[in-house]
Amino acid sequence: MKRPVCLLIWLLFLSPAAGALGPGQTGILVNMDDPASVEIGRYYAAARGIPAANLIEVRIGRPQAVLDPERFRRTIWRELTRPSRHRLQALAVAWTRPWKVGCMSVTSALAFGYDETLCAQGCRPTRRSPYFASRSRAPFRELGVRPAMLLAGRSTEAVRRLIDRGVAADSSYPRGAAYLLETPDRQRSVRSVYFPAIRTRFAGLLDIHVLRADHIENRNDVLFYFTGSTHVARLGSNRFLPGAVGDHLTSAGGVLEGGSQMSALEWLEAGATGSYGTVTEPCNFLEKFPNPGVLMEHYLGGETLIEAYFKSVAMPGQGVFIGEPLARPWPRVVLETRPAFP
């Protein structure tokens, strides 16, 4: 991973929104040319009570890793821009492939429309997301952004388990731990600048472990796990609680299959409910990766996984979000009596 031209450190977090997205505001995007996508879409609709009117059926051919931007516009984007879709504020995407559209991740192309100012070649910043760290409860209506997340997995059974974990997380108020790792890989550990403030902010709510280590293993209480590495060892030895989130800052974690670095799918395989990875070389700009403090602030502030995760990335155009979007472990705001994050 190359160094960025500059590193802008975001340590100012807004207070979380009091509301959260729900099934009635969430669309399910299904590729009718992919039987697995159809199966996953139906399962998710039933699991979450999503209305049949929120099902969006498209035909984009057999699953491929990369979707051509023009085909994206003619098929998916045309469906999403119909007036009847304007009430939908978020998307659950019932497939693993495609994860990329041109130079963008598929989740960002769905959220913003295909726009090359949201991706970059070389070490350059991109256009910022207005949804970053925002108070918005209705992102499409208020900001023109419709966050999206892939219901991704290596098999339909794996995706069913993912969905079941997300549902099990609801209102569970888990008492677990956050593991914030600074690895010997200095270029991939740039998020360590956030760790002292996170430890102060969330003390008493979670067990916060700030570690200088390559990995953790045999932990049974993982709620948050953020690290920087091309591969994360012993991931499967840990127990992730329902609703848990984990990601590794590296260049190609969003290349979900066939990449030379560890796929973000490994987090879901290990038991996490959500993860993130970049699909094209981002360089190690902090803004192109999840800010753990923003994510934790909004998640513990009562928002769903898709809201908290999407709000945590200032420049999300090159990154793909995967997981169960509506997981909501903390439906009541557990941070309301605490001071705002510095």
Model confidence pLDDT, tens digit, residues 290-322: 999 999 999 999 999 999 999 999 999 999 999
Domains in the chain: boundaries: 23-323
**Which of 333, 322, 338, 337 lies closest to 135, judged by CA?**
333
Strands (E), 151-264: 177-182, 207-212, 222-227, 240-248
Model confidence pLDDT, tens digit, residues 113-169: 999 999 998 899 999 999 999 999 999 999 999 999 999 999 999 999 999 999 999
pTM of the model: 0.94
Which tokens belong to 234? 């012993």
Model confidence pLDDT, tens digit, residues 67-110: 999 999 999 999 999 999 999 999 999 999 999 999 999 999 99
Residues 147 and 141: beta-carbon distance below 8 Å: no
Residues 311 and 298: beta-carbon distance below 8 Å: yes
